[in-house]
Amino acid sequence: MSRLSVSIIGHNEGYCLDRCLSSIKNADEIIYVDCESSDDSVEVAKKYTTKIYRRENNPNFNVNKSFGFSKATNEWLLYIDPDEVVSAGLWEEIKKVINLNSKFDGYYIPRRNHYFGKWLKRGAQYPDYQLRLFKRKKGKFNCLHVHEKIKLNGKAGRLKNPILHYPYETISQYIKKFDYYTSFQANFLYNNFVNINFFNISKWIVRKPITRFIKR
């Protein structure tokens, strides 16, 4: 039987961490990387695992996600965020596929994004496939951008059952995350020498917003 590791990082997310961890409590191994939390996140994590690591709260989350990957010991690895929940159907599907003699080295999982408790079925918000389940030695982040995807050295399939995502439960959470991501993107562009000129103003302020609006 193949064994499964689950890796999670968090910063001050004790309010949702218990819900997340309880959905994967039967995993063979749970790795929790705490990024300088000042709330009860670590105490919550201790109810589910002893593999708890404390790290600097790096603005590029993928640095600490990669650290968590490095601490996993099983063949298969599932990554989820603290504001996500593995549905019961997805858990059963994961247990099944990791024991198949499959040609796939990883799997995309559909994600149901909830906005203030409401499931966003449309507007390009579903199925929102995410590569989250993969053979540990086959997947990694390049750690260049906070929103980059896992790079898989192999073929990927798709699962049917969803991850449940609850990123915004209050207005204050929305504003805090909005401020964080816009600041990160601005610094990323600046550090990569994206200068203020006609071409970039046209691209980032006109073309990209219009394209995103039409898509959604």
Instruction: Supply the CATH number for residue 61's domain.
Output: 3.90.550.10
* Number of other CB atoms surrounding residue 199 within 10 Å: 10
Same-domain check for residues 20 and 37: yes
Same-domain check for residues 199 and 110: no
Same-domain check for residues 91 and 185: no
Mean of the pLDDT values across residues 196-203? Answer: 88
Cα–Cα distance measured from residue 84 to residue 128, given in angstroms and rounded to the nearest whole number: 13
Q: What are the helix (H) ranges across 50-122?
A: 61-70, 88-97
For 133, the enclosing helix (H) or strand (E) is strand 130-135
Cα–Cα distance measured from residue 10 to residue 120, given in angstroms and rounded to the nearest whole number: 24
- What's the mean pLDDT when you consider all of the chain? 93
Same-domain check for residues 158 and 176: no
Cα–Cα distance measured from residue 202 to residue 76, given in angstroms and rounded to the nearest whole number: 44
Same-domain check for residues 105 and 188: no
Mean of the pLDDT values across residues 104-131? Answer: 94
- Residue 166's pLDDT is 96
State the chain's maximal CA–CA distance in angstroms. 58
Residue 205 tokens read as 């302020």
Higher per-residue pLDDT: 45 or 200: 45
Domain count, the chain: 2
pLDDT of residue 146 exceeding 70, the answer is no
- Residue 185's pLDDT is 84
Same-domain check for residues 66 and 134: yes
Residue 121 binned pLDDT confidence (cut-offs 50, 70, 90) = very high
pLDDT of residue 93 exceeding 90, the answer is yes
Full domain range(s) for residue 195: 171-215
Single out the residue of 116, 87, 71, 111 nearest to residue 19, CA to CA. Answer: 87
* SS3 state at 111: strand
Same-domain check for residues 97 and 180: no
- Residue 89's pLDDT is 98
- Residue 36's pLDDT is 96
Same-domain check for residues 98 and 109: yes
Provide the whole-model pTM: 0.89
